[in-house]
Amino acid sequence: MAKLTTPLAKLKKSFDTIFSQYIRLKYANKSGFVKCYTCSTIKHWKEMQCGHWIPRNILSSRFSEENCRPQCVGCNMFQRGRPAVFSVNLMNEGVNIKDLQQQRYHIFKVDIFWYLTQIEKYKKLVQSLLEKISVDNAVD
């Protein structure tokens, strides 16, 4: 049986992809490598995932840049995000985790316009970050 998807669900999936790329690229070095936030494994940004301290099923913090960092598959999937280590690292960065925890209780309603706006914004940010990696790795 085919799964029915709404335009909003398709936009959410598209934004998930772009936002994940942005988070991984934001923390990547000029060669495109990034360190896992919770175990220090270093891999190319395409081999990492976008980890969430507050689980991604909580929509109000799902797309919060403060809540997301690059994680390896081992930490993000097999160790369920390692939230204890994640929270300590966030606090060490100066992130107010009490405010972030409160975000999970906010009512966060999105519509097609919100997704389209965010997709456009983050596509530009991703493109800019990709250009920096490409320029830094260009052969003279």
Q: Per the structure block, which two tokens stand in for 83?
A: 């939230």
Measured CA to CA in angstroms, residue 95 lies from 68, 86, 101, 120 at distances of 11, 11, 11, 27
Q: Which single residue is written with the structure tokens 């109000």? A: 60
Q: How many residues does the chain have?
A: 140
pLDDT at res. 134: 75
pLDDT at res. 136: 62
Contact present, 63 and 15 (Cβ < 8 Å): yes
SS3 49: strand
Contact present, 70 and 49 (Cβ < 8 Å): yes
pTM above 0.95, yes or no: no
pLDDT at res. 5: 72
Q: Which residues in the chain come in under a pLDDT of 70?
A: 1-4, 135-140
Q: How far apart are CA 128 and CA 52, in angstroms?
A: 23
CA-based nearest residue to 49, from 20, 25, 27: 20
R_g of the chain, CA atoms, integer Å: 16
Q: Strands 42-44 and 49-52: what pairing? A: unpaired
